[in-house]
Structure 1
Amino acid sequence: MTLRPVRWPVRAINPFSRLQRSYKVLAIETSCDDTCVAVLDRKNSKTAPEVLVHLKNTLDSSSQGGIVPTKAHLHHQLKIGGLTQRALQLSNFPKIDLICVTRGPGMPGSLSGGLDFAKGLSVAWQKPLLGMHHMLGHLLVPRMETNGERPSYPFLSLLVSGGHTTVVLSQSITDHEIICDSMDIAVGDSLDKCGRELGIKGTMIAKEMEKFIDEDPSCAHDTEIQMVMPNPLKNKHNRVDLQAFSFAPFLTAVRNNLKQPIENYTIKQIRSMAYQTQEAIFNHIMTRLSKVIALNRDKLIGVRHLVCSGGVGANKRLRHLLETKLCPNFETFHYPPLDLCTDNAVMIGWAGIELYESKKFSTELEVSPIRKWPLSELLTVPGWTTVD
């Protein structure tokens, strides 16, 4: 990859000249149905940035049975301007030196709402723009509290959300290898769809289902209804299938286990079925993850840290399973703060800070959203450049 240096106009301040002082970052995230804006204060390169403000406005799609891309696009168009104005107002209208925005992966219509707006600000303010990888944000945000010190490279990440279920081996900020991925739907999508079949309501169904289960922990021992759940890929033996997840079969299983309309079941019975469903899905993750670790022993030499990030990474049961079943394989386990597990602009800002300071990267203005963008191909897409 050849990067062409960009020389910013004289009136534009290059944040690299101010690393020992303070520079401000405006971050925007619009990859799905959350319109997110944050302002970060990078006071110096020795301490973690301060989050001056972080705002989020989520499209309410609970009545739609899922996210409608055209409505999500319109939501971002309606909300991004006012939300950014509010964020700048709450942070006392700081002088922004760097603009970070999600470029992909995600829904193109949603991405364009944030990316086009950020490009306009970059032109108006004459400030560098960074089009960031959404999953890189999830992967790096656990490092923010320690200012990038921990987890240290190399480390392994389990990225679990509504759109992705991926195991990534990271050697550096730009060197990532995907060693396990879902062959159908993501774990968050599976949890949402299974929860909907069980009558769970809300915008974030997987989170609501966890809350519903935790209201009565005794449901873990309820044997009144025994669900028959799958163990996907159990009998597969080739390396491709061994290093993969499959979550679509769980939705079919939940439907097959429902012998009558969901409203005919008691709350106790539904809670038990929800627990069994969540447990089966998480056990699948643990089974496949253990296989991946066993098959990649040589690659994982020197890997001491495991990151779990993404919306599903906030689930307490999943964290417990990771730490109890994988304790012999890792010295430490790392997670984002709970409010930064789901999509947010802070992670985009922090990932931008790490990439900007370590590689002096920026993004050309002639770029477009990227719907599919594997982390292993972070630098292969057009549009990267360097700040001179």
Structure 2
Amino acid sequence: MLCATGRYCVSFSTRNSFTSGVPPTFRKLSRSYKVLAIETSCDDTCVAILDRKSREEAPQVLTHLKDTLDSGRDGGIIPTRAHLHHQQKIGPLVQKALTTTNSLGEIDLVCVTRGPGMPGSLSGGLDFAKGLAVAWNKPLIGVHHMLGHLLVPRMQHNGAKPQFPFASLLVSGGHTLVVLSKSLSEHEVLCDTMDIAIGDSLDKCAREIGIQGIMIAKCMETFIDDNLEDARSGAFPMVLPSPLRNQNGRINLQKFSFAPFLTAVRQNLQKDIHLYTDRERRSMAYQIQESLFDHLVTKLKLVIRIRPEIFQHVRQLVCSGGVGANKRLQQKLETDLVNHFDEIYYPEPSLCTDNAVMIGWAGIELHELLGLTTNLDTSPIKKWPIDELLQPPGWIQLCK
């Protein structure tokens, strides 16, 4: 029924039992429920099932499946190919997840990435999720992709830590952000990239020096680690930039810039990349990775210095996103930021890259803490600033 605020007012019930007469998008879930989560913002088709057995313990991940588009031959992700990939893979992955966990008929909540991301990719997951929500008569939650990244370290602690407010360094192929999370719904972007993301820059620079594979930046990290002595040998010295310095050499602009590294790498190469030895290429790879990470850390320290009123009280940092799984980056953060943060949280490697588990957990937090679900007439959001989390239409809030 409607309460005084004009919203549907519902209460907790037993598992798979809801207040009668309330549309599924308004239904408050019980203390025990299962979540089907879908992530298709880029080139990974991801499906997970989480079992929320109680509010007192972290949810159990019953399954976590991923199928990544092989775009190595294309020199990058082609949106139409990514869209087709999701169309082909999402059905079989969901079917496999349901059958292997005996969850058919037991899903209580459907969570899916609504944005930001590539519209064609997002629609593959969102349309499928809406269809399941209709067929099963279950509520849907459209999740912000970056919210999933910054919240996922909280899952293993059942939301207890990191505690709000905390800062996040979100580093992936599509985003490079420093975010202050004051609460689940209040986020402030403290630093963004003015051109391309760090993951995109790492991929493109790695491709220039002959690295190949699906996750090119990860392949470059492995290439470096295979022989650190050669990597640090200086066999091929490179001149690489330190972007956004003023005339006095001081860094004072609260922005990242990663595009200049690609230009510099190309300028350093004097002949066809295949004519260089592995030792020389490994030396290049090491210098590229170090330079990009140095820029990242330097800018983060600048933000801390410029906003002391924030970082006097914010002593927890989350580093998430695909690049956040890089061990060398983690090492630099631990060393260079030891005086600024008491704790730095990293998701386990499989949860740093795009995954459906983070979408499921973010959906759980949005539903349990804010009482949110999503209307079935929502559409993908290509660009969705995280500091505008609740502004797009389509949110439905339950009475508390």
What TM-score do the two structures reach when normalised by structure 2? 0.92
Q: Quick check: 1:35 aligned with 2:42?
A: no
Paired position in structure 2 for 1:128:
139
Map 1:107-118 onto structure 2 (within 5 A). 107-118=118-129
State how far apart, in whole Å, the 1-side matches of 2:252 and 2:80 are.
35
The aligned amino acid for 1:268 is R
State how far apart, in whole Å, the 2-side matches of 1:33 and 1:161 are.
13
Given that residues 219 and 275 in structure 1 are in contact (C-alpha distance below 8 angstroms), is that contact kept between their aligned partners in structure 2? Answer: no
Alignment match of 2:20 (pick from 10, 34, 46): 10
**Aligned residues with identical type, % of pairs:** 62
Paired position in structure 1 for 2:14:
none
Q: Provide the secondary structure at the position in 2 that maps to 1:234.
A: coil
Q: Quick check: 1:160 aligned with 2:181?
A: no
Paired position in structure 1 for 2:342:
331
Q: Quick check: 1:51 aligned with 2:61?
A: yes
Please report how far the alpha carbon of residue 221 of structure 1 lies from its aligned counterpart in structure 2 after TM superposition: 3.1
Q: Deviations over 1:331-368 (max 9, x none)?
A: 00100011111000000000000111001100001110
Given that residues 314 and 338 in structure 1 are in contact (C-alpha distance below 8 angstroms), is that contact kept between their aligned partners in structure 2? Answer: yes
Given that residues 15 and 23 in structure 1 are in contact (C-alpha distance below 8 angstroms), is that contact kept between their aligned partners in structure 2? Answer: no
Q: Quick check: 1:318 aligned with 2:329?
A: yes
Q: Provide the secondary structure at the position in 1 that maps to 2:311.
A: coil
Alignment match of 2:73 (pick from 60, 63, 69): 63
State how far apart, in whole Å, the 2-side matches of 1:17 and 1:127 are.
10
Q: Deviations over 1:131-176 (max 9, x none)?
A: 0000000000011111011111111100000000000000111010
Q: Deviations over 1:246-270 (max 9, x none)?
A: 0000000100000010000000000
Q: Deviations over 1:305-328 (max 9, x none)?
A: 010000000000000000100010
- Specify whether residues 77 and 9 from structure 1 end up closer, same or farther in structure 2 by C-alpha distance, changes over 3 A only: farther
The aligned amino acid for 1:63 is R
State how far apart, in whole Å, the 1-side matches of 2:371 and 2:60 are.
21
The aligned amino acid for 1:156 is A
The aligned amino acid for 1:347 is M
Given that residues 15 and 98 in structure 1 are in contact (C-alpha distance below 8 angstroms), is that contact kept between their aligned partners in structure 2? Answer: no
State how far apart, in whole Å, the 2-side matches of 1:337 and 1:86 are.
24
Unaligned 5+ segments in structure 2 are 11-17
Given that residues 3 and 386 in structure 1 are in contact (C-alpha distance below 8 angstroms), is that contact kept between their aligned partners in structure 2? Answer: no
Given that residues 232 and 286 in structure 2 are in contact (C-alpha distance below 8 angstroms), is that contact kept between their aligned partners in structure 1? Answer: no
State how far apart, in whole Å, the 2-side matches of 1:195 and 1:327 are.
30
Given that residues 19 and 27 in structure 2 are in contact (C-alpha distance below 8 angstroms), is that contact kept between their aligned partners in structure 1? Answer: no
Q: Quick check: 1:368 aligned with 2:379?
A: yes
Stretch of structure 1 that moved more, 153-162 or 295-304: 295-304
Map 1:125-204 onto structure 2 (within 5 A). 125-204=136-215
Map 1:247-262 onto structure 2 (within 5 A). 247-262=258-273
Alignment match of 1:79 (pick from 82, 89, 97): 89
Given that residues 155 and 170 in structure 1 are in contact (C-alpha distance below 8 angstroms), is that contact kept between their aligned partners in structure 2? Answer: yes
- Specify whether residues 318 and 17 from structure 1 end up closer, same or farther in structure 2 by C-alpha distance, changes over 3 A only: closer
Paired position in structure 1 for 2:15:
none
Please report how far the alpha carbon of residue 18 of structure 1 lies from its aligned counterpart in structure 2 after TM superposition: 1.9
State how far apart, in whole Å, the 2-side matches of 1:162 and 1:24 are.
30
The aligned amino acid for 1:24 is K
Given that residues 52 and 91 in structure 1 are in contact (C-alpha distance below 8 angstroms), is that contact kept between their aligned partners in structure 2? Answer: yes
What is the Cα-based RMSD across aligned positions, in Å? 2.0
Given that residues 134 and 348 in structure 1 are in contact (C-alpha distance below 8 angstroms), is that contact kept between their aligned partners in structure 2? Answer: yes
- Specify whether residues 249 and 3 from structure 1 end up closer, same or farther in structure 2 by C-alpha distance, changes over 3 A only: farther
Given that residues 238 and 284 in structure 2 are in contact (C-alpha distance below 8 angstroms), is that contact kept between their aligned partners in structure 1? Answer: yes
The aligned amino acid for 2:42 is C
- Specify whether residues 236 and 126 from structure 1 end up closer, same or farther in structure 2 by C-alpha distance, changes over 3 A only: farther
Given that residues 177 and 192 in structure 2 are in contact (C-alpha distance below 8 angstroms), is that contact kept between their aligned partners in structure 1? Answer: yes
Q: Quick check: 1:245 aligned with 2:220?
A: no
Given that residues 324 and 330 in structure 2 are in contact (C-alpha distance below 8 angstroms), is that contact kept between their aligned partners in structure 1? Answer: yes
State how far apart, in whole Å, the 2-side matches of 1:343 and 1:271 are.
27
State how far apart, in whole Å, the 2-side matches of 1:197 and 1:5 are.
56
Alignment match of 1:293 (pick from 294, 304, 307): 304
State how far apart, in whole Å, the 2-side matches of 1:36 and 1:365 are.
21
State how far apart, in whole Å, the 1-side matches of 2:316 and 2:383 are.
27
Please report how far the alpha carbon of residue 219 of structure 1 lies from its aligned counterpart in structure 2 after TM superposition: 2.9
Please report how far the alpha carbon of residue 10 of structure 1 lies from its aligned counterpart in structure 2 after TM superposition: 2.8
Given that residues 51 and 62 in structure 2 are in contact (C-alpha distance below 8 angstroms), is that contact kept between their aligned partners in structure 1? Answer: yes
Given that residues 15 and 97 in structure 1 are in contact (C-alpha distance below 8 angstroms), is that contact kept between their aligned partners in structure 2? Answer: no
Unaligned 5+ segments in structure 1 are none
The aligned amino acid for 2:323 is V
Q: Deviations over 1:76-116 (max 9, x none)?
A: 11111111011001111241111000000000000000001
Q: Provide the secondary structure at the position in 1 that maps to 2:308.
A: coil
Stretch of structure 1 that moved more, 294-303 or 349-358: 294-303
Alignment coverage as a number of residue pairs: 384
What TM-score do the two structures reach when normalised by structure 1? 0.95
State how far apart, in whole Å, the 1-side matches of 2:30 and 2:170 are.
33
